[in-house]
Structure formats: C-alpha cells, structure tokens
Amino acid sequence: MENVSNVDKVESIKSLISTIRKLENALAQMTEKGANTTLVKKRLKAVTIGLAMLENVWNQRPHHYTEEDLAEVHTVLTGLLPSIENVYAKSKEGSPQRTLLERRKKSLELAVQAIDESLYKNLP
C-alpha cells in the first residue's frame, strides 16, 4: 500500500464517499418503497468499513472493526468487483462512466488490500 500515489489516494477516498452516498440514496428509496434492503445495507456497511480502512492506512485514523467484520467486508467487496468489471467492459472508451468505474474498481481493490494487510499483519 506504500506505493499508492497521492492522486490515487484522494481519488479512491472520493470514489468510496460517492459510492456510500449512492448506496444511502438507494437505501432510502428502497425503504420508502418497502423493498428488501438487506443487500444494500450489507454493501453500504462494507464500503463504509472499506473507507475506514483506507483512512486508517493512509491517514492513521483509528478504526474499531473486529476481524470478523473485516473478513465479512472482504467477501462483500471482492464480490462487487466482477459486476463492476462487467459493466466496465461494456462501457465506451473515454466515457465519464468508464472513468467512474475505473476509480470505483481501484478504490475497492485498495480497500480489500488494506483489509488484507490488517487481517494478516500479525501472521508470521
């Protein structure tokens, strides 16, 4: 994680904040409609913890998440990557959507890496 540029750090944090806002809006709309919100809540929690882990690694902000939380979030975030990659493959070269997807994918991958480092730092 030490070889991540400052630009990538800022873009990744902004991307995760944007993703959190989108998920919060989706959750509000789904709650209003009475739809099942389990998946959106799980993803919102995962992205929020992913952001906290990046903030922990890059800005030394403490976090209070357990290994169980981190393991669950790791699974959720890695599960999001294939769908982002599929949409990315269908997007137009140079489009704003493609740029957003590139940043989202990179930010999720970095969050997963930060979680990995946190989970496995105490191993020999």
Q: What is the dihedral of CA 68, 24, 76, 39, to 10 degrees?
A: 100
Residue 22: count of CB within 10 angstroms of its CB: 15
Q: What is the pLDDT of residue 122?
A: 55
Q: Where are the alpha helices (DSSP H) in the chain?
A: 6-33, 38-59, 67-90, 96-120
In the block, tokens 């990744």 appear at: 12
In the block, tokens 């919060």 appear at: 24
Which is nearest to 105 in space by CA: 50, 45, 40? 50
Distance between CA atoms of 47 and 20, rounded to whole angstroms?
7
Side-chain-side CA neighbours of residue 56 (13 Å)? 19
Contact 31, 37 (CB under 8 A): yes
Q: What is the pLDDT of residue 3?
A: 87
Which domains occur in the chain, in start order?
6-120 (1.20.1440)
Contact 40, 27 (CB under 8 A): yes
Indicate whether 123 pLDDT > 80: no
Taking only the tens place, the pLDDT of each residue in 39-66 is 999 999 999 999 999 999 999 999 999 9
Q: What is the pLDDT of residue 17?
A: 98
